[in-house]
Structure 1
Amino acid sequence: MADDRTPVTRQALLDMMVTVRKTHILRAGVELGVFDILASGTSTAEAVAGKLGTDPRATRVLLNALAAIGLLDATDGGYLLAPGADTLLVADSPEYYGHAFRLAASDYEWDALRHLPEAVRTGGTVVDDNAESPDFGYWLDFAVAGTGNTQPMADLIAEEVTTWAAGRDTLDVLDVACGHGLYGFTIAQRDPRARVWSLDWPNVLSITAANAERLGVTDRSAQIPGDMFTAPLGGPYDVIAVTNVLHHFSHERAVELLARMRGALKPDGRLVTVAITHAGGPPAEDPVPHLFAVLMLAWTHSGEVTSAEEVAEIVAEAGFDTPSQHSLPHIPLRTFIADRRNES
């Protein structure tokens, strides 16, 4: 019987090994502002170096590397932006995407993943500064930048929540592990009744507050500093959002967290949770969640990316009805919305 699987080759392995170089070449181009300089047109390495205040020879090496990976075109007259780079890599473009490197290629990830073999041996993170640390600097970057997936999911949630809450007298929202706060604040922007309590580490909440002011909802927002497993929650709330944290914990710990939130909901309240999930099929057909799961292994004590089915089980075990599931094309996040189950 013929084996029609794609074989592993030396070239394929080498391509994986040198990908780190491409990442750092892109990061250097963004940090130095190379793409902004070339936005005005073709330029030589010497001219680019003069505007950036960099070494001419080293600048030429970087520009050639950026051309080698397809971000610039090299011509007899110098260098110019490749198609699309003017839209995605020039800082004043409305579709600028260069800021994503702060999260997708962060030093925090590099430092943790260097210890991946040891994490596999021991079963979890071996670095002291990890995703569960109160002062983890990554969360500040996350709160400032978010990701390209954040606002689309926040809009989806706000639409679902405000439609459901149309006949309610109040719309009090607890945003747990809020970070940037956009999930709760987008609801507040959509519905003038909404009041939002943002729970996160104290160092993160200063950025959350700045976002509340930028979005015009400061007068309807409050803060709860502390650990989501121990901080006083207040309430009861109409809606509690627990976003992008379930993959940090084991199944049992995730159930514990959501059960705690159930206790702070009104009897007819709703839970909203957002999680990265996989489809349950072969990993090669859905690679992004499985690659992210490796980061969770290196970055947390028991975190893992699970299937959508298991997240639904976690929600049910925590005392909620079977959740509805919502997703958007090309975004590896899934939203689960469930009513509080009231035991007779």
Structure 2
Amino acid sequence: MAEQPAQRMFTPEHDSEVEAAGPPTPVRVIELLAGYMVSKTLFAAVEFDLFAAVGPEGVTTVELAERCAIPERSARAIADLMVDAGLLVRDGDRFRNAADAEAFLAGRGPFDLRPLARYWDTVSYPTWTDAATAFRTRQGVRAALTEAQTEAYEAAVALVTAETAADLAGAYDFGGHRRLLDAGGGFGTFVKPILARYPHLEATLVDLPEVAAAVTDQTAAGPLATRLTAVGADLFTDQLPGGHDAILVANVVHLFPPERIVELLRRLREAVTPDGRLLLVDWWRTDVAPHPSARFGAGEFLMISGGDLYQVDEVARWLSESGWRFVSLEPLPPPSGLILAEPRPV
């Protein structure tokens, strides 16, 4: 009997074409299982501001260690792994930033992803250590955030939502509305561009007391001081301010399980004027799979508080159960979309 070749766990090269033609190897599985090592190394690189330290002329590991204030052996280990990840390019004994690292991780490009990296490192990653519990129970597993974690979270949310907020202000005509209620509006990322575009509009932002207090402080001396009122309240237990003919709920629905969403929609129905409208902005599933850029959303929202990415037809059903009439799904640049609803007559 011919001797069978031993299955090798680590192979010299990962050639997808060769692998497709022959028997499978464990390379891809190994890379996925060890992916956290790449992530944590990248998080460390961001913490050390490693990509900012790599100038146009490139750096040696000695220079990198000096600029990042880390041991040379650590600089070498990080640089080697970042080369494998494609974020650094080896040029003899020097390292240079790859184009995307220079654009998004060095602080010199058009878009700075470092706040998002800090959130994933300090808030998301520790939470995902209990991922099996969350997937098993459909309960959130994120612990109470420290002040530093809260700052990282808010910075990441502002970064991720800024474009969608600007898109919404331009895509939906608020000209026919007079008073807007921004439910769970955070630090005003969505409502501020709307107010800037529609000077006749007044708005009330409702969020937790500490968030509302910060919004009040931020707007006290600015042009929105008389047009934006921040109210500290719990969306589920406190009375919501009434008299608004438009209610905006942006990137909030995905944080809650279905039964809580229905409860929130019922409370919002009681707060809207008879001729009002409800605007739900979120990362909706419109078919079997979410948009590729939102593929991690379902897991992240579950970890945070038991949420999910929801189907549009699910939301339409919950609207009907809570006194609303689904009007339409309006496109926004993906992965976001705008669901419009109107109050059904009582």
Q: For each residue in 1:161-213, what CA deviation from the matched residue of structure 2 results, as whole angstroms up to 9, or x when unmatched?
A: 4x2x4245xx2111111123111111111011222222112233355446647
Pair 1:153 & 2:157 matched: no
Measure the CA separation in 2 of the matches of 1:184 and 1:129.
27
What displacement does 1:231 show? 2.3
Question: Contact 1:115 / 1:126 at 8 angstroms: preserved in 2?
Answer: yes
Measure the CA separation in 1 of the matches of 2:318 and 2:151.
28
Question: Contact 1:278 / 1:289 at 8 angstroms: preserved in 2?
Answer: no
Measure the CA separation in 1 of the matches of 2:262 and 2:205.
21
Measure the CA separation in 2 of the matches of 1:69 and 1:190.
42
Question: Contact 1:267 / 1:340 at 8 angstroms: preserved in 2?
Answer: yes
Q: For each residue in 1:276-295, what CA deviation from the matched residue of structure 2 results, as whole angstroms up to 9, or x when unmatched?
A: 222332x4x75665643233
Structure 2: gaps spanning 5 or more residues = 1-19
Rg comparison, structure with higher value: 2
What displacement does 1:148 show? 4.9
How many percent identity over aligned positions? 25
For residue 322 of structure 1, give the secondary structure of its aligned residue in structure 2.
Answer: strand
1:111 is matched with which residue: 123, 126, 132? 126
Say if 1:55 and 1:128 are closer, same or farther in 2 by CA, change over 3 A.
Answer: closer
What displacement does 1:59 show? 1.3
Question: Contact 2:280 / 2:340 at 8 angstroms: preserved in 1?
Answer: yes
Question: Contact 2:116 / 2:155 at 8 angstroms: preserved in 1?
Answer: no
Q: Which one is further off, 25-34 or 316-325? A: 316-325
Pair 1:182 & 2:189 matched: yes
Q: Which residue of 1 aligns with 2:15?
A: none
Measure the CA separation in 2 of the matches of 1:215 and 1:93.
29
Say if 1:246 and 1:332 are closer, same or farther in 2 by CA, change over 3 A.
Answer: same
Q: Which residue of 1 aligns with 2:300?
A: 295
Measure the CA separation in 2 of the matches of 1:223 and 1:41.
49
Q: Which residue of 2 aligns with 1:228?
A: 235
For residue 43 of structure 1, give the secondary structure of its aligned residue in structure 2.
Answer: coil
What displacement does 1:51 show? 2.2
Measure the CA separation in 1 of the matches of 2:246 and 2:147.
27
Pair 1:129 & 2:133 matched: no
2:202 is matched with which residue: 177, 195, 201? 195
Q: Which residue of 1 aligns with 2:62?
A: 46
What displacement does 1:271 show? 0.8
Q: TM-score, length-normalised on structure 2? A: 0.83
RMSD of Structure 2 on Structure 1 (CA):
2.9
1:340 is matched with which residue: 322, 339, 343? 343
Measure the CA separation in 1 of the matches of 2:30 and 2:78.
21
What displacement does 1:267 show? 1.3
For residue 324 of structure 2, give the secondary structure of its aligned residue in structure 1.
Answer: coil
Measure the CA separation in 2 of the matches of 1:151 and 1:214.
22
Q: For each residue in 1:194-251, what CA deviation from the matched residue of structure 2 results, as whole angstroms up to 9, or x when unmatched?
A: 2222211223335544664798533422111121112232221121111222223232
Measure the CA separation in 2 of the matches of 1:226 and 1:269.
22
Question: Contact 2:64 / 2:75 at 8 angstroms: preserved in 1?
Answer: yes
Q: Which residue of 1 aligns with 2:309?
A: 305
Letter in 2 for 1:172: R
Q: For each residue in 1:87-106, what CA deviation from the matched residue of structure 2 results, as whole angstroms up to 9, or x when unmatched?
A: 11121433222222133x24
Q: Which one is further off, 67-76 or 40-49? A: 40-49
Say if 1:25 and 1:167 are closer, same or farther in 2 by CA, change over 3 A.
Answer: same
Say if 1:292 and 1:318 are closer, same or farther in 2 by CA, change over 3 A.
Answer: same
Q: Which one is further off, 304-313 or 152-161? A: 152-161
Say if 1:8 and 1:173 are closer, same or farther in 2 by CA, change over 3 A.
Answer: farther
Measure the CA separation in 1 of the matches of 2:148 and 2:267.
26
Q: Which residue of 1 aligns with 2:16?
A: none
For residue 231 of structure 1, give the secondary structure of its aligned residue in structure 2.
Answer: coil
Letter in 1 for 2:331: S
Alignment of 1:188-267 (within 5 A): 188-209=195-216, 212=219, 216-267=223-274
1:65 is matched with which residue: 62, 76, 81? 81
The alignment of Structure 1 onto Structure 2 pairs a total of residues equal to 325
Measure the CA separation in 1 of the matches of 2:108 and 2:293.
29
Question: Contact 2:291 / 2:335 at 8 angstroms: preserved in 1?
Answer: no
